[in-house]
Amino acid sequence: MEQICVVTTVVDARPVADVLAAAAVAGRLAACAQVGGKVDSTYWWRSGVETSTEWSVLFKTAPDRVAALVDQLRGTHPYEVPEILVSRVECGDPAYAAWVHENTRA
Protein backbone atom coordinates (compact mmCIF):
# COMPACT_ATOMS: atom_id res chain seq x y z
CA MET A 1 0.00 0.00 0.00
CA GLU A 2 1.16 3.51 -0.80
CA GLN A 3 1.48 5.48 2.44
CA ILE A 4 -0.97 8.38 2.91
CA CYS A 5 -1.28 11.18 5.43
CA VAL A 6 -4.18 13.20 6.76
CA VAL A 7 -3.52 16.87 7.53
CA THR A 8 -6.09 18.60 9.73
CA THR A 9 -6.81 22.23 10.47
CA VAL A 10 -9.69 24.39 11.69
CA VAL A 11 -10.77 27.91 10.71
CA ASP A 12 -13.36 30.41 11.90
CA ALA A 13 -15.54 30.61 8.76
CA ARG A 14 -16.91 28.16 6.21
CA PRO A 15 -15.81 30.26 3.19
CA VAL A 16 -12.24 30.25 4.51
CA ALA A 17 -12.35 26.46 4.89
CA ASP A 18 -13.65 26.14 1.32
CA VAL A 19 -10.81 28.31 -0.04
CA LEU A 20 -8.13 26.32 1.81
CA ALA A 21 -9.63 23.04 0.57
CA ALA A 22 -9.92 24.18 -3.05
CA ALA A 23 -6.40 25.65 -3.14
CA ALA A 24 -4.81 22.46 -1.80
CA VAL A 25 -6.62 20.22 -4.29
CA ALA A 26 -6.09 22.58 -7.26
CA GLY A 27 -2.38 22.74 -6.42
CA ARG A 28 -2.13 18.93 -6.20
CA LEU A 29 -0.99 19.23 -2.59
CA ALA A 30 -3.95 17.08 -1.56
CA ALA A 31 -5.98 14.57 -3.54
CA CYS A 32 -9.06 15.34 -1.46
CA ALA A 33 -10.13 17.88 1.13
CA GLN A 34 -13.20 17.54 3.30
CA VAL A 35 -14.79 20.49 5.06
CA GLY A 36 -16.59 19.32 8.16
CA GLY A 37 -19.49 20.91 9.96
CA LYS A 38 -19.25 23.36 12.78
CA VAL A 39 -17.36 22.35 15.90
CA ASP A 40 -17.15 24.27 19.16
CA SER A 41 -13.56 24.61 20.32
CA THR A 42 -12.49 25.62 23.81
CA TYR A 43 -8.86 26.63 24.26
CA TRP A 44 -6.37 28.83 26.11
CA TRP A 45 -5.55 32.06 24.29
CA ARG A 46 -3.76 35.07 25.70
CA SER A 47 -4.12 34.10 29.36
CA GLY A 48 -7.77 33.15 29.18
CA VAL A 49 -10.13 30.40 28.14
CA GLU A 50 -12.08 31.08 24.96
CA THR A 51 -14.73 29.17 23.06
CA SER A 52 -15.46 29.66 19.39
CA THR A 53 -17.21 27.94 16.51
CA GLU A 54 -14.88 26.57 13.85
CA TRP A 55 -14.96 24.46 10.69
CA SER A 56 -12.59 21.54 10.32
CA VAL A 57 -10.75 20.70 7.12
CA LEU A 58 -9.17 17.28 6.47
CA PHE A 59 -6.69 16.93 3.63
CA LYS A 60 -5.68 13.50 2.23
CA THR A 61 -2.19 13.57 0.75
CA ALA A 62 0.97 11.61 0.02
CA PRO A 63 3.85 11.82 2.52
CA ASP A 64 6.11 13.60 0.02
CA ARG A 65 3.49 16.38 -0.36
CA VAL A 66 2.98 17.02 3.36
CA ALA A 67 5.71 19.67 3.77
CA ALA A 68 4.44 21.71 0.81
CA LEU A 69 0.84 21.44 2.02
CA VAL A 70 1.81 22.53 5.54
CA ASP A 71 3.80 25.45 4.11
CA GLN A 72 0.79 26.54 2.05
CA LEU A 73 -1.52 26.30 5.04
CA ARG A 74 0.86 28.32 7.22
CA GLY A 75 1.07 30.99 4.53
CA THR A 76 -2.68 31.32 3.93
CA HIS A 77 -4.25 30.41 7.28
CA PRO A 78 -5.94 33.36 8.99
CA TYR A 79 -4.93 32.35 12.53
CA GLU A 80 -1.84 33.69 14.28
CA VAL A 81 -1.14 30.16 15.56
CA PRO A 82 -3.00 27.71 13.31
CA GLU A 83 -3.76 24.15 14.28
CA ILE A 84 -2.03 22.03 11.64
CA LEU A 85 -1.84 18.35 12.56
CA VAL A 86 -0.32 15.59 10.42
CA SER A 87 -1.25 11.92 10.89
CA ARG A 88 0.10 8.93 9.00
CA VAL A 89 -2.55 6.38 8.07
CA GLU A 90 -1.55 2.97 9.44
CA CYS A 91 -3.89 0.96 7.26
CA GLY A 92 -6.28 1.77 4.45
CA ASP A 93 -7.71 0.55 1.19
CA PRO A 94 -4.78 0.08 -1.23
CA ALA A 95 -6.81 1.37 -4.19
CA TYR A 96 -7.69 4.57 -2.29
CA ALA A 97 -4.08 5.07 -1.21
CA ALA A 98 -2.94 4.65 -4.85
CA TRP A 99 -5.60 7.18 -5.92
CA VAL A 100 -4.32 9.69 -3.33
CA HIS A 101 -0.74 9.21 -4.51
CA GLU A 102 -1.70 9.52 -8.21
CA ASN A 103 -3.73 12.68 -7.63
CA THR A 104 -1.01 14.53 -5.77
CA ARG A 105 1.24 14.48 -8.83
CA ALA A 106 1.34 17.33 -11.36
Q: What is the pTM of this model?
A: 0.94
pLDDT tens per residue across span 27-38: 999 999 999 989
Contacts made by residues 72-77, CB under 8 angstroms, sequence distance 24+: 72/23, 72/24, 72/27, 72/29, 73/7, 73/9, 73/20, 73/24, 76/19, 76/20, 76/23, 77/9, 77/11, 77/20
pLDDT of residue 106: 77
Question: For the structural domain made of 5-102, what CATH number should be given?
Answer: 3.30.70.120
